[in-house]
Structure 1
Amino acid sequence: MSKVFYTNEEALALIFDENFPAASESEGTDDEFSEKSGSLDPNENNFDRLFNVGLQDENLKGCGDENIDDQATTSGIVVDTENDCIYDEACSSVPQNSTTTNILHNQTKQEAERKWKKHDSSTSRQDYNRDTGPVEHFFSHCQTPTDIFLVMIGDLIEELTFQSNLYATQHEKNLNLKEGELLCFLGINFMMGYHKLPSWKDYWSTSEDFRVPPIAEAMPRDRFELILRYLHANDNKSVPQGNKDKIYKIRPVVEKLNHKFQQVYNGTRELSIDESMILFKGRSTLKQYNPMKPIKRGYKLWSMADQKGYTLTFKVYQGKDEVAETEFQGHGLGERVVLELSKPVWGNFRELYFDNYFSSLSLLERLAAEKTHACGTIRANRKGLPKNLTDDKKLDRGDSDFRFSNTQVAY
């Protein structure tokens, strides 16, 4: 008979990690089963016992999928933050990773040193004297909204023109695209967005009920099709080996826009970080589905905007991000998003605001160390929160309770 054997660490990982590799199947006797399973008894319900062992660990309670990296335990469980796996400390197959060990040690030490007290205190706000609003010399010549738009995309148009001509040359075609012609191409696409026809070729139709003169007279149909075929933003022949960037082909577009957004405009002191959805129902590995949002399907962006709604920087969500995970090891997904987007404004005592998807004590403490204020709602089951607050049922309308920590966090 074929039996499936699970060691201690495999059983725990199967409970808490859906992607843990399945155990191998092999033939064996009951003695072999006991040897491979360690202390597990094949005649008992080992799943219930292992599950209860996992629940005894405070740090595995209620952190959510976005904080799987934070789920370090204190009673025999070690987290490998690089491989997203949970291991039993007693198992000989635990990966020896000094970086992971140091991170978990520092987090445990920080939690042990965090003390909460209730006392009268006032929040001090450092003076903020930096400029806010647009950088004047970029827009001094602008007379219309179109002029402002051209300032924002000027560098991008130059790059798109070069890469499109390069891509056509690589395919033995002479595109000879000019920047002015590319702007005309983009303008046609804008008009097609609000003046819809069954097919893009209908805009050049000879039928009067289809033909759109502003488009048909701006550019020949064949020329439009040629530009559409060879429009490119990045060099395909420069793709790094083992590339995992799903938006490599448009990476220059994202980087240049983010650079320009921050170059031409000084945001307010108060900044907000949140997610944003771009409606898309086609086929894409980047498409996300969230039935609880107004836009249920589409591309998800992480963005940081100022008090007036101006987007200072954004990032396209594409799943596992090894670069951010390496730079901000020991932090969960929501924490990494805040740290990565806000890094350009560290050291200026800016004020960041975000919701409970991102908030955690370790995030607030890290931002405080970077001379950046932060405020946000937080889920009651986040680890490290004070346990001695007055129960909500005992508070009257308008009452509140609070605690201050010795790590510059108020709750």
Structure 2
Amino acid sequence: MRQTWRWFGPHDLASVDDMVQAGVEGVVSALHHVPNGVVWTPEEIAKRQNEIAHFKSGAPSGIAWEVIESLPVSEDIKKQKNDWRAHIENYKTSIRNVSAAGLKVICYNFMPVLDWTRTDLRWQVPSGATCMRFDINDFAVFDIHILAREGARADYGDAIAEEAARRFADMDEPTRAALGRTITTALPGSTETMTLDRVREHLAEYGEISPDQLRQHFIDFLEEVVPVAEEEGVRLCCHPDDPPFSLLGLPRIMSTAEDYARILEAVDSPSNGMTLCSGSLGARPDNDLPAIMKRFGPKVHFLHLRNVTRDTADPVSSFFEDEHLEGGTDMVALIAEIVREERRRKAEGRADHQIPMRPDHGQDILDDLQRRSQPGYPTIGRLKGLAELRGVMHALEHPAYGLRD
């Protein structure tokens, strides 16, 4: 695996200097300041590349921008409303522009309205570290009582709805407002920051779009952009839903292995692939991550390695971001399948035999607790995760003691 690190630009508390000291081989970044649906220009792309290519001192860093995360798909495209056709043309232009700059891997997602979602950004675990958490009861508080979505209560069942009512009654106004901000204010890498009214507007515009309709909109998008990606030698890789189940009554269509099978088969191309995120998919007990890697290995173009611990075995459950080698996913078994896939690719002569990986998220530990970095992206917590993953990888790849085919 090629070891990469996500970087949000010059404002990121983890600097280019920090990334080099962590021993990463490449950088994952994006132009988060460019509005959704707008073309990424060669000038803005070059500016970000230049920022990554230099230390604080101005000396060459020796590392480069290698993976885009994310080139957002606008809500207009997902809904096929308003300026969606113009946004698709702009997306094609952006693909050509990043390709001309040497960037060949583009991660994106197709989640409606809310991007990746959490209800607590600094939840304390027994060690004193903090992490991100999704609590289905708190989300029900937001949906039923704060957003006040029509018909929301029926989506949760009596037990969750009653617990949500109790929690809402116990919350003061600042606590309710903080929960709303946590859910609607864009997390790092998310595509939009929305008010409650804007969320309601999006829900109204989605109307009665069914899972099958949303999936067809996704296929329509891919049929337009994948041929351009093929021409440019670019690998598009869709990130799974996070969490991998319906929110706000909206369909989520990239939550399971079968969801991926439908999309990858509908637009069958080396340029149409998967971002395998072990944390997102791992939030469902019916997603077997090593088996998913084995099944879709040839089309896995990017890896997010992290782990979550679920509160229950139900398909829709609360969960928290655990340490990288803890949680519900057998990380050693997953990395073993990745190593096997990379060996197969190398034997086939594939230029992309080394799959870019980043240690996704991390718990805030030690000095992270004072730094208050972007939620989920602490410097020391991610470095710990990278070290653990690196150890597993090196053990499995060791010529004398490692994995045997």
Q: TM-score range by the shorter chain?
A: under 0.3
The structure whose RCO (Cα within 8 Å, separation 6+) is larger is 2
TM-score, with length taken from structure 2: 0.24
Rg comparison, structure with higher value: 1
